Amino acid sequence: MKRLSLLLAVALGLAATVSARSAVIECWFVEDAGGGKLAKKPAALLLRQGAESPPPRPDLAPERYLKVHAVLTVFTHTPTPRIRMGQDALLDLSFAYVPLTPKAATSLVPGPPPFGLEWRRQHLGKGHLLLAVTPGLNGQVPAAQEGSVAFAAWDDDEPWGPWTGNGTFWLPAVQPSQEGTYLATVHLPYLQGQITLELAVQKPPKVALTPAPLVWAAPGEAPPELLCLVSHFYPSQGLEVEWELRGGPEGRFQKAEGQRWLSALRHHSDGSVSLSAHLQPPPVTSEQHGARYACRVHHPSLPALGRSAEVTLQVAGLSGPSLEDGIGLFLSAFLLLGLLKALSWAAAYLLATQNSTEKKTE
């Protein structure tokens, strides 16, 4: 089989493919094996710059090499953007057009050719056209949806190419209903390139633990039930709640014992959800005085360590007044003394006023 020269429009999801380094995409092809049968054989697409010969591949037959010239390349630096709920989404898109031969370029009008750009969203089996633009052309296009804007333009105006362009897409204040697969399509005369981006919307949870900041229990008795409120997060998948006991007899972190359960999800108008985690600790001992119960939450929108809230366990009969307690008592006594003095002054003033009025009357 002789080498062939093919004209292809290549859509890529990684910007590294347009760098000076080579990139290899493993693939396969089907050929006629005779007798009405087809044979599937391995192949590789080597993306590189320059005209040097391809490197040897022992697993591929050299006589079956195909020389491919990429005319239209569409790529992005952010194939899987993660956007916080309520913030603007900026979906990066770039494209490059290289005329097949200098002779073909000189037969055209100098400068980059006109192009069209479409952005669509597919989510839950439904497709929506969000934006369509045709810079340099006078054709009518539908109005942009959901406040979206595209920065559609060629980056340079060399007379005979090659040319690079920008089709970055801006979507304001994204909500959960706007996540999904975004398809960007670049149209050139007789050419088309398309790429997909997976937009995910996230919102980190707020974590609060009650009762706080102290929980009391007598030796041999169980502390009151602990309630960990995990509120206003998205998505609902991937949430994990752990209960920890920090300190105590062993002086280290350990998994808290006791009965635990989760409530049902509560949905909010903005698309976020909340739930509450419950823990009924077992009876405590005097050695657990000063230990801390912690509720740790893990979610895809949080760092690896998650987010936590904690309360301190006070065992009755083992804690004396602290420095803060002494300062609080002193301030309370000082304020009470000042209030009593103010009342005595007011009473003396009213009594003096009443006596003066009686003397004038006599």
**193 and 223 co-located in one domain:** no
| Same-domain status, 98 and 25 | no
Q: What is the pLDDT of residue 280?
A: 94
Look at residues 68, 86, 111 and tell me which one is the last residue of a structural domain. Answer: 68
Confidence of residue 16 (pLDDT cuts 50, 70, 90): very low
Lowest mean pLDDT among 42-56, 254-268, 340-354: 42-56
- Segment 151-173 shows an average pLDDT of 89
Tell me which residue range forms the domain holding 28.
1-6+15-68
User: Quick check: is 324 in a domain?
Assistant: no
Amino acid identity at 98: V
Q: Identify the domain boundary among 151, 168, 202.
A: 202
Residue 132 located in a structural domain: yes
Amino acid at 158: E
> Is 81 inside a domain boundary?
yes
pLDDT above 50: residue 11: no
The residue that leads in pLDDT, 341 or 280, is 280
Give pLDDT, residue 10.
43
Domain match, 283 and 252 both: yes
Query: Which CATH number does the domain housing residue 125 bear?
Result: 2.60.40.10
pLDDT at residue 19 above 80?
no
Confirm whether 117 is domain-assigned. Answer: yes
Same domain, 86 and 190: yes
For 84-140, how does the pLDDT look when each residue is reduced to its tens digit (9 = 90+)?
Answer: 999 999 999 999 988 876 555 555 678 888 899 999 998 777 788 999 988 766 666
- What is the per-residue pLDDT for 190? 80
Q: Does 288 share its domain with 268?
A: yes
Residue at 353 is within a domain: no
153 and 241 share one domain? no
Tell me what pLDDT residue 23 has.
Answer: 59
Retrieve residue 243's tokens.
């209960």
Give the chain's mean pLDDT. Answer: 80
Residue of 232, 234, 233, 229 whose CA lies nearest to 208: 229
Residue 13's pLDDT band, with cuts at 50, 70 and 90, is very low
- Please report whether residue 338 resides in a domain: no
Q: Domain total for the chain?
A: 3
Asked whether residue 118 falls in the same domain as residue 194, the answer is yes
Whether this model's pTM surpasses 0.85: no
Same domain, 189 and 80: yes
Whether residue 173 sits in one domain with residue 234: no
Residue-level pLDDT at 234: 96
Q: Are residues 50 and 91 in the same domain?
A: no
Scored b (16 or more CB within 10 A) or e, 181-217 reads: ebbbbbbbeeeebebebebbbbbbbebebeeeeebeb
Q: Say what the pLDDT of residue 30 is.
A: 66
Q: Is 251 a domain residue?
A: yes
Residue 225 within a domain: yes
pLDDT digits (tens, 9 = 90+) for 177-219: 999 999 999 998 888 889 999 999 999 999 999 987 778 888 8
Do 93 and 174 reside in the same domain of the chain?
yes
Cβ neighbours for 241, distance < 8 A, ≥ 6 positions apart:
228, 230, 262, 277, 295, 296, 297, 298
Do 172 and 102 lie in one domain? The reply is: yes
Question: At which of 160, 179, 202 does a domain end?
Answer: 202
Cβ atoms within 10 Å of 59's Cβ, excluding its own: 7
